[in-house]
Amino acid sequence: MLKGFKEFILRGNVVDLAVGVVVGASFNSVVQALVKDLMTPLIAAVIQQPDFSAMVFTVNGSKFLYGEFINAIVSFLIVAVSVYFFVVLPLNKLTTKFRRPGPNEPKTRKCPECLSEIPAEAKRCAFCTAPVGR
């Protein structure tokens, strides 16, 4: 019984998942600090209201804290924008920069200007000298 448990725990994907959870929790604190310490004061400087939690309305004695809801939406959007621009975009650029072409990827492509065959990694066409993007 313990042998099976030991094999389960030491299996690669379980350890990878545990490491991912720990790193994710640490990364969450970094993102929350970015939002709380940098982005929220920036927004507060622009719109001159850092906190919407005081916004409420009452119907038949029931308080509706729509300001808290606005705070949650703004916080979510700030986190999403921060993660996209500070994590996803740089990592995508880094992976495309160091990506090696796979065996199924073509070695050549057509120049968009003169339609001649050029190497896939070329930045400029050898025939018409037009710059070509990747």
Lowest average pLDDT, out of 76-80, 84-88, 98-102, 119-123, goes to 98-102
Enumerate residues 6+ apart whose C-beta is below 8 A from 122: 132
* Residue 19 confidence (pLDDT) above 80: no
Q: What is the pLDDT of residue 40?
A: 72
Q: What is the pTM of this model?
A: 0.50
Q: What is the mean pLDDT of residues 74-102?
A: 81
Q: What is the pLDDT of residue 102?
A: 67
Q: Is 117 helix (H, G, I), strand (E, B) or coil?
A: strand
Q: What is the pLDDT of residue 59?
A: 92
